[in-house]
Structure formats: structure tokens, C-alpha cells
Structure 1
Amino acid sequence: MSGTESHTHREEDYRFLHSMLMEKKLHLLFKIHERLKRFEKRSPVPVQEHAVSLASELAEELIYQGWRDEVKELVDLLSKPHFKSLLSVHDAVAQRDFEPSLPPIPDDVLDEDEDSVKIVSLVKTKDPLGATIKKDKSTGAIVVARIMKGGAADKSGLIHEGDELKEVNGVSLEHRKPKEILPLLAHSQGEVTFKIIPASSKEEMSTNKKKLFMRALFDYDPNEDPTIPCKEAAVAFKRGDILQIVSMEDDTWWQACHLGDSKSRAGLIPSPNLHERRVALQRPKALFKPRRVKPPGGQPVFPVIEDVDYGAITGIHVAGSRRSFRLGRKSSWAREAARFRRWSAGVHRSICPPTYIEVIPYHRDPNDRHRLVVLVGPSGVGVNELKRRLLISDPDRYAVTVPHTTREKRRQESEGVDYHFVPVHMFEELILNHRFIEYGCYRGHYYGTSLDSVNREMAEGKVCLLDIHPSKIKHVYTSEFKPYVVFVKPPRVEELRLTRRRAKFVCDDEDTNPVRVFSEEDFEDMIDLAESMYSQYGHLFDKVIVNGDIATAFRELRADLEKIDEAEVHWVPTEWICSSPTKARRSCGHLTGWI
């Protein structure tokens, strides 16, 4: 809202308040209030407490006193509705009968086998009443299975889990199914009256529970879930959404609401147990869809060492930005097919899908180290170029790690700038001590990125940019580094054809054709690999950037990284800040209906 609009609204509010305060009726009410307060101090005692009956008796007496004009006028006055109401209010005040009275319970309400019955009336709005119902298998009774936090039933405090519903708006629920009860409520307007037998015992919920927040690690759409008790009672969410968990008492369905909606009604979300069982029983098509592989006898594929060589186009090279320890991108058709078979069999044997992770708001203290920035993406998508542009844009802020290698230093290379050149025994000792985030062997030489090199850059107060395969994020996913993971995603294939027409791959120096352009198969493989990465590791990504235009993607990335150190709060795993995350408390329950 602009300043002019805000000023206009304030003027309108002022005029409304001024006109209301100047109302004559309001001033009369003030005078009445002052008079009543004076009478209250005197503690007046009513002369009579039954003015209504006296007026009625007086009217009857006057009828027999002759029909003179004065008598007729007085009888008319006593019979007027306003005067009768005034006398009725007088009697209520005189008898101090201020509390509202409920109608008596019908004689047929209490059954012989019932201890007590409640009559509960709730006002129905557009939203559901906020309770789920089920049929007790042993007794056949309709009982309240779950009270949704923040709903009308929860706010009333009159309906509890385990209560048995006997009637709705006077209609008996005996021998009815939960799905037959829902239309009764759907067609109810205004007030809804329940006849309830309270549960014999209720577990009181603690009001001092700490707020619990979870980041969703998968997408959920209740409209596509055939097992949800009621779609209207569910909460839809996307991977990465922050949810406030309201209840984890049910082993199958938790109650939650989106961050910022804590005052609204909570809804159902699948519990981790339910989601894990569901994925274990159903083989996801996305996990077992084979990637496109090269048929036997096809054109040989050159091993690709780096991303798109934007440096060759612009003539700018940033030291320390290579990824020479990466193995070739492609293998033969037989090797690729065998690798896929091993991978799919391993996934089928042990599926443990990501569900939720407990998170906590985090704001970096000026004295803390910068968060590690991890850039991931398929080969050719432009990760190296984005990293290179960040380094050039602000070399005092951003830094990259210097890889280790066991090969000999070349004439144009410098120790500690291009690589750390170490002997084989030292490199293997670092491997045994788990000091490498990522390493590999290429043409008989080791290449790798060490944890020490990351710590060294971060200790100097810089934002360290790390480019690794997403499977290696686990090595830095700790409170020490607090990584901020950015996934660089390719655009659609049509846009790739336009933006990568002249971009080139740089292959191994010993190849006869060290530089080549993208092929159609490269584009397809890039998109397939990106989908595979997101499917397997997407729950670790904090930001997804589509690199269609490199300049646009760079501006988006830089603006996002600058927000990390500003006042913006980020949600990080609780275990990064606290010693141990909260353990979920669970109890069994099965929901069958929503009211």
C-alpha cells in the first residue's frame, strides 16, 4: 500500500470515528450508564419482584370497573408489548435472573445404560466443524476419532476425542455409517445440535508444548491420495514447505498447518510411517525409469571433464575452478545398462524415502562463519560459469577450494593456486582419514576436494563455493558447514537448443578432438540426469535455479546468496543448532470420516 492510500484510509477512519462519537444516541447511552452507576451505589431494593403478574391482575380488575376513557387508556397501556417487555426485564433484574436457561432435556434422552448425556450446539460456518468420526468395530457406535486443532469443535471445548455421537439435529445415528452422517451436516444451516455421550476418560493435552516445525521433503496432494479419510480435512504441500506440527498422536495421520497459518484450522498430513510404508509397497515409476543409454555400435562418446567452456568463449579463466578429478560422463552401452540394473536393484531392496526433517529458524550472527554454498547440477548446465561469475563479481567475498592431485605439476600451473600437488601415499592417507568430500582416479592420478580446503577458505571469512555431485552433500551436511545447497537445473530442450548452440565441451587434453559442441543426445542426457538428481536428492536443495539464460540465472543466484547474510531468517535442521531433535510421540488411530 502506498503512502497516499494509507493517508486516505486514516482520514476515512477518523471521519467515521468522529461521526460515531457525535451521535445523539451514544450520548444518551452514556447518560443512562451514569444514572445506573449512581443507582448501583445506592444498592436499591425492588418494591416488587413480580411486576408482570401484578400488571395482569390489574388489567383484569380494571375491566370490571366500568369502561371510562381513563380506564380504557390504562388497559391499552398495560397490554402493549413494549410495556410488557419492560416489566419482564424489571422482574429479571429484581430476581437477579441474569443467566440464560437451557431448555429441559426430554424425558426420552437418558437410556438405562447411559451415565450422562450432553447436548452441544455449534454454529456452522463455511468451514468444517473440525472433527473426524469413525465407527467403533466392537460396539458399532459412531465416535469422535480426532479433533482438528483450531477448528470450531476444538475452540468450543465441548467435543472431545472418544465422545459417542447419538444424534445430529434430532436425527438418530444408530445403525448408520460415517459416510451417511456427512450429508446430514452438509445440509445443516446455522446451528448444529449434537447429542453426545462423553468419553469415560480423556487424555489432557499439555498446553506448554514447544512449537514444532518440519520441512516437507516430498510433495503431497490429497486430491491424488485415495487413502485420506477426507480430502477437505487434509493439507496439501510441496517439497521444501515449512509445516507447523500440531499433533503427532496418530500413527498414520499427523495434524499440521503451513508456516504462518497457526491460527487457522489444522489439517491432516501423512505421517512418516504411512509415507514410508506407501513407498515401500508401491514401486515409484520415477525411480525405476531407465535413463536413455547409447545402443551398441553407436558413435563413440568423448569423456567430458568440465562444464560448458564459457572460458574458451570469453577468454577468462579463474584458477581453482576445475573439476578434473571427475570421471568421464559416459561409458559403453553395456556398462551403462549394467550400472542401471545394479542401482535399481539396490533401490528396490532398501527404500527409505525422505519424509520430514525438523527445522528451526536461524539467523546468522555477524561473528559466525558464512554458510558453505554448494552448487550442484548435471554436466553442461553451467555450474562452473555461475561459480566463475560469482568469483569475478566480488573476489573479496567469494572463494573456491583448491583441489588436491597426485599428478606432476605442469609448467603453467602454480602450487596452491591450480592444485595442491601431493604424493600418492599422502593422498591415500587423507582418504583413509575421511578428509575428502569427493575424490576419484583419472588416467592413473588421484584428484579430490578436501574438507581442510573448505575450512581454510571459510576461516578467512569468505563465502566458499563448492561444486560437487549431490551424492557427496552428506559429507558437508553438518552444523560445522551449514550448507546452502543450490541446484542448477536445465531449461526445456527447446531452450537448450537456442542457448547452447555455440557452447562447447572441453574434453581431455590427450583426445584428438578436445573441444566439441553439444549434440541432441547431450541435451536429452542433461535433462534426464537433472530429473534423476532432483528425484534422489531434491530434499537437500534449498534453492532451484533454471539456467536458461546465464545472465538471468547469475543475477538470481547472486541476489539469493546475498539474502543469506541479511536479516532474512532461514530454516535449518534442528540438529545443526540443538544437540538433538525432538522425538515424535505416536499412538494408533484410524480415521474414517470428517465433519
Structure 2
Amino acid sequence: MTNLLRVHKKISAIVGKPHSASDTNGTLEYEPEMIVPIVSNVFHISCEVIETLQSFVQRSGSRDSRELILLLQRPAFQSLLLVHDTISQKDYVPKLPEPPFNTVDEDEETIKIVQLVKSNEPLGATIKTDERTGKIVIARVMHGGAADRSGLIHPGDEVVEVNGIDVLGKTPNDVLEILQNAEGTITFKLIPSESQRPSRENRVRVRALFDFTAALDRYIPCKEAGLDFRRGDIIHIVSQDDPYWWQARHEGDKQMRAGLIPSRMLQEKRIAYERAHSANNNSDQQENEDFDRQEIVTYEEVARLMPYPAVPRPIVLIGPPGVGRNELKRRLIALDPDKFRTTIPYTSRLPKPGEADGVDYHFLDRQQMERDIDDGLFVEFGEYKGNLYGTANRSIKEIIELGYTCILNPHHQALKTLRTGEFKPHVVYIKPPGFNVLRETRSAAYARSTFDENSSRGFTDDELAEMIRSGQRIELHYGHLFDDVIVNGDLSTAFEQLLVVARKLDTQAQWVPVSWVV
């Protein structure tokens, strides 16, 4: 506290200004000025600086830059930046209340007149008919829009006139037509809402787990106010006041006005209805079972995770059998064994001649391995020819603690236990190409079928088709967990794309579930 007071005095002296030059003791007195932050997003700027420095370090190996990165990544320093941003984004300066509106009679309602200049930008407000009174009222004010910036239009305000036209008895569409035909200045005569609670902008970021096109939505209050997005987009939620329609922007979008997107509750209800309707009209039992098992996912709250070289994130390769995950993993480890490693599996079978414990496998007796499985010590396990096989949690942790990037290619069901804050994996889906490309490339590479372990033959057409169907089911159930998708048509091209992903994890901040960061 003493140090904080000293800092405060120094800052006050720096930003102060002379109050009088003719004091009795011959010294100047300073009257402190208000300190105004230059920017309100220094934490985001620091993240960009770190990314730039990491790229520079890779090229030059600068020790000074590396030391600066470590300083900027210290939790105490990042917490200080977050506190600065939190304070600078709020306005603590006292404001005088709005002057009272002149009224002719105490029994008459207060009226306010608001003028907005019409431009190419939407007004940023939606209207509706009040179910109780039948009057036209402001339904919502879009954050950052013209109406919001005016500070004079609020949700619940009753619209009396628009450009001198009485809207009594008119529908919202009638009012919209008046606005569309208006030119220049638009004048609203409004009766203020009784409660004009200011709405603060949220700081929630989410990853969209479905596609949304406002123009195709039958129920959106205003299609022009909608915000389109695709699965995987990072969305900044600025308001969740409406239980059905949130206001949001694309992360990093410089446009001030927010747009409407379906809320989590609304989208979950839609998906549940669509599945029930689809099941009733679909005789395909397998597809119905897939829908029943599929998790209802809409948005995932995320935060930025900075790369930390001392604790590299595992890379998890997911895909259908035969798509080429083993070969991609083998090439990655062979390229740089000092950076990439994979786990040694555990098994309950006896060692074969020439096999060494801890080299080929970790050998355990069946009872011990079953106890470890029951205790949740394996991220995945299975039985093959009467013997248990599995990947242990501690095997992954040991590789991470040694500073290596762990490369895994587990069964897709292992994502349920593997994708946690404990491991913070980066999930890459290796997708098969279309049937013709798949058949052509596997034939040209003399790829051996993984469907028949007793033969070294190539893939049949039925096996290739099953590989594609299996991949589609994996995408249906687990697609919302993928961080990257690589189509393995040409193996060399797919490997180059995987290298880009690995380098990205070392140099760029990534959006991850918020629970992994907090």
C-alpha cells in the first residue's frame, strides 16, 4: 500500500499543472488533472506484441526478446493489464441527470423528441407491438448503432409519431415503411419507458458450433439486424438481455453496431425440435440412433490461451480407420524427434521375444490394469484378442513435462476424457476426401487396407465408402470439438498442413474453452 501511494504521488506530480506561480514560499502548487487512458485494450495489445516477438525470436534467436516475452507472460503482469482494461472501459466520471421534460399538465405523459440523421447505416433499433396495450414500442436497441450512440432511445419507449405521422393503430411493418421512405432527418416522438436501465456491454467470447444465416431465419425480429456466422467463428457477445436473441459482433470486427443471433436457449430448442421432427419422418434406424446420441451444442465460451514453450500442447489426430493418421504421426515424429514424441501404450499381454518393457509397451498384469482403468487412469483402452491395451494419463503428462509436443491418434471416443483443461489438446480432424479422389490417391500410393490384418491387399471400394461414412459419423458427433480440419487427399500436402498447425501452436494465441484459462 505504501508503494502504491508513492506511485500515486509521482503520477500526480507528472500530470499535475501549476495552480499559482506566486505562492508565499516561492514554490509551485499543482492541481492534479484527471488521468485518461490512451487505450482500453492493453491486454489484447500485449498478446499481439508477444506473438510478434515470438516470430522474431524464431528468426533471430534474440535473448532480449525471449526475456521480454517471459516478462509479458507473467501472471502478475497480465493481471495488472486486465485490471487496467476493466477500469478504463468503465466511465467513473459523474454525470448530471438528463434535464426534465417540459410538461403542460401534470396528468399528461412526458414526451421526448429525438432526431437522427438517416444514412446508409441502419438505425440500430427494432420495434414491436406491445401485447398488453397494442402500442408500438422500441423492442431493443443494438449496441453501437445510431440509436444507441444517441443515448436517447431505450427499450420500452413508446413510439407516438415518426416524422409527424401518428403511428396509433399502425403495425410495425407500417412504421418500417415510413422509415424507409424518409429522407434526411428522422424525428421520433417518444413516451419514455418507466425503467431505462442502462445495458452494459458484455465481454463474453464464444465459438459458434453451428451455421447461421439471418436471411433464412423465419423468426428473427429483423433480418437486416442479423449477424451471419459459420461454425468455428469466434463471436463477441455484447448483450444477453433478451432471452431469445443476443446481440453480438464477430471478434476483431471494427464495425461498432452489433447484430442479432439466436440465444443458446433458443437454438437448443430449435435443434431438439428438428431432431424430433426428423426422427418421426425418417425410417433409417442408424441415422435416428446417430441423432439420439448427438449432443446438443450451440456455443462454447472461449478465451485466448497464449503459447507457453515450457508446456507444449498435445496434438490429437482424429479420423476414421485407414485415413492416414498413423502415417502423419510417424512423419511428424521422424521429422523432429527432439520436438515431437508419442506415448508408449500399456498392455496386459506377455512380452514377445525381443520386446522390452517401457520401450515397445508398458507391461502390466491384467488385474492391475483393470484397477487402473476403474480408477480413471487411462484416457482410452480396449480389448484385443483377450488382452487389454490402453493409453495412460501419466504417459501424456510425462511427455509434456519433458517439454515435448505429444502426438496422439486415439479413437474418437477418447475425446470425451482427453479434451480437458488438464491436457489442453489441439484437436485436428483428418478427413477423407471424396470417393473418387480417395480411390485414386490410395491406389497410386499402394496403400494397404487396414480392414484386413491378415492380408496386405489394397482397399476395396466398399472399404473406401465405409471410411467416408465413418468420417461423416465422427463429424456429426464430434465436429464441435475440432480445432482444425485437414483433408488427406494427398499425403504430402496433408503433412505440410499439419506442420503449419504445429508451428501455429508455438507462435500464436489460440481460442480455447474458457475453463482452461481461468
- TM-score (ref. length: structure 1): 0.66
Cα displacement (A) at 1:147: 0.2
Residue from 372, 392, 404 that aligns with 2:314: 372
Following TM superposition, by how much is the alpha carbon of 1:285 offset from its aligned partner in structure 2, in angstroms?
8.7
Question: Is 1:520 the counterpart of 2:512 in the alignment?
Answer: no
Q: Is the 8 A contact 1:110 1:117 kept in 2?
A: no
Instruction: Rate the CA distance shift 1:291–1:391 in 2: closer, same or farther, 3 A.
Output: farther
Matched, 1:408 2:400: no
The aligned residue for residue 355 of structure 1 is 298
Distance 1:378 1:288, change over 3 A: farther
1:533 aligned partner: 474
In the other structure, the counterpart of 1:343 is: 289
Conserved? CA contact 2:321–2:450, under 8 Å: no
* Deviation per residue, 1:278-337 (Å, 9 max, x gap): 111111799999999xxxxxxxxxxxxxxxxxxxxxxxxxxxxxxxxxxxxxxxxxxxx7
In 1, Cα distance between equivalents of 2:465 and 2:306: 40
State whether residues 402 and 419 of structure 1, in contact with CA within 8 Å, keep that contact through their aligned partners in structure 2: yes
What is the CA deviation profile of residues 327-382 of structure 1, one whole-angstrom value per residue up to 9, with x for unaligned ones? xxxxxxxxxx7xx48934843xxx75111111111112344x11011110111111
User: Does structure 1 residue 254 correspond to structure 2 residue 255?
Assistant: no
Structure 2 residue aligned with 1:212, among 200, 204, 207? 204
Superposed, 1:323-342 pairs within 5 Å as 340=286
Change (3 A) 1:113 1:529: farther
Contact between 2:211 and 2:229, CA under 8 Å: does it hold in 1? yes
Rate the CA distance shift 1:485–1:185 in 2: closer, same or farther, 3 A. same
Q: Indicate if the aligned counterparts of 1:375 and 1:465 stay in contact, CA closer than 8 A.
A: yes
Out of 151, 156, 160, the residue aligned to residue 154 of structure 2 is 160
User: Could you tell me which of 189, 194, 209 is aligned with 1:195?
Assistant: 189
SS at match of 1:441: strand
Checking the alignment, whether the CA contact within 8 Å between 2:290 and 2:473 is kept in structure 1 is no
- Provide the rounded CA distance (Å) in 2 between the counterparts of 1:239 and 1:558: 23
Runs of 4+ in 1 over 3 A off after TM superposition: 109-114, 284-292, 340-347, 506-509
Displacement, 1:554? 0.3
Secondary structure, counterpart of 1:505 in structure 2:
coil
Residue number in structure 1 paired with 2:177: 183
Give the CA deviation at 1:114.
Answer: 3.6
* Deviations 1:176-227 (CA, angstroms, capped at 9, x unpaired): 1112211111122221111111112211234xx6622111111112222211
**Partner-residue secondary structure (3-state), 2:440:** helix
User: Which residue in 2 is equivalent to 1:265?
Assistant: 257
Whether contact under 8 Å (1:291, 1:528) holds in the other structure is no
Deviation at 1:112, TM superposition (A): 9.2
**For residues 114-134 of structure 1, what are the alpha-carbon distances to aligned partners after superposition, in whole Å with 9 as ceiling and x for unaligned?**
421112110111121000111
Q: Which residue of 1 aligns with 2:332?
A: 390
Q: Which letter maps to 1:379?
A: P
Q: What is residue 92 of structure 1 aligned with on the other side?
A: none
Aligned to 1:453: 395
Residue 418 of structure 1: how far off its partner (Å) = 2.0
Task: State the match for 1:78 in structure 2.
Answer: none
Q: Which amino acid aligns with 2:426?
A: Y
One-letter amino acid matched to 1:530: G
User: Residue 308 of structure 2 aligns to which amino acid in structure 1?
Assistant: D
Measure, in 1, the Cα distance between the counterparts of 2:447 and 2:132.
71
- Residues 1:257 and 1:341: Cα distance change in structure 2 (over 3 Å): closer
Q: Which amino acid aligns with 1:504?
A: R
SS at match of 1:503: coil
Contact 2:239 2:247 in 1 (8 A): yes
Partner of 2:118: 124
Q: Deviations over 1:539-576 (max 9, x none)?
A: 1111001111100110111111111111x221111111
- With over 3 angstroms needed to count, the CA separation of the structure-2 counterparts of 1:507 and 1:178, relative to structure 1, is closer
Q: Tell me, which stretches of 5 or more residues in structure 1 are unaligned? A: 1-104, 293-336, 579-595
1:561-580 maps to which residues of 2 (within 5 A)?
561-566=502-507, 568-578=508-518
Residue 277 of structure 1: aligned partner:
269
Amino acid at match of 2:302: V
Matched, 1:238 2:230: yes
The C-alpha deviation readout for 1:29-85, integer Å capped at 9, x for no partner, is: xxxxxxxxxxxxxxxxxxxxxxxxxxxxxxxxxxxxxxxxxxxxxxxxxxxxxxxxx
Distance verdict in 2 for CA 1:285–1:412, change over 3 Å: farther
- Higher Cα Rg: structure 1 or 2? 1
Equivalent residues of 1:287, 1:535 under 8 A apart? no
Deviation at 1:417, TM superposition (A): 2.2
- Counting aligned pairs with the same residue, the percent is 44
- SS state of the match for residue 282, structure 1? helix
For 1:473, what is the secondary structure of its paired residue? helix
Q: Give the deviation of 1:471 after TM superposition.
A: 2.2
Aligned mates of 1:180, 1:538 — CA distance in 2: 44
Q: Which residue of 2 aligns with 1:102?
A: none
Q: Given residue 491 of structure 2, which amino acid in structure 1 is its aligned partner?
A: I
Is the counterpart of residue 500 in structure 1 residue 494 in structure 2? no
- Deviation at residue 231 of structure 1 after TM alignment: 1.3
Distance 1:271 1:537 in 2: 22
Distance change >3 Å, CA 506–CA 263, structure 1 → 2: closer
What CA distance in whole angstroms lies between the structure 2 residues aligned with 1:166 and 1:371?
A: 59
State which of 134, 138, 149 in structure 1 corresponds to 2:143: 149
Distance 2:141 2:429 in 1: 40
CA distance in 1, matches of 2:116, 2:361: 73
Aligned equivalents of 2:418, 2:472: Cα separation in 1: 23
Distance 1:507 1:119 in 2: 75
- Given that 1:397 and 1:463 are in contact with CA atoms closer than 8 Å, whether structure 2 keeps it comes out as yes
Pairwise mapping of residues 63-102 of structure 1 onto structure 2 (< 5 A)? none
Aligned residue for 2:63?
none
Task: Give the drift of 1:415.
Answer: 2.2
Distance 1:288 1:570, change over 3 A: farther
Whole-Å separation in 2 of the counterparts to 1:285 and 1:558: 43
The aligned counterpart of 1:133 is 127
Relative contact order, CA 8 A, sep 6+: which one is greater? 1
Q: Distance in 1 between matches of 2:334 and 2:220?
A: 52
C-alpha spacing 1:393/1:507, structure 2 compared with 1 (3 Å): same
**TM-score, normalisation: structure 2:** 0.76
Cα separation, partners in 2 of 1:345 and 1:359, compared to 1, 3 Å: closer
State the distance in 1 between where 2:387 and 2:105 align.
Answer: 87
The aligned amino acid for 1:565 is D
The number of aligned residues is 416
Which residue does 2:33 correspond to in 1? none
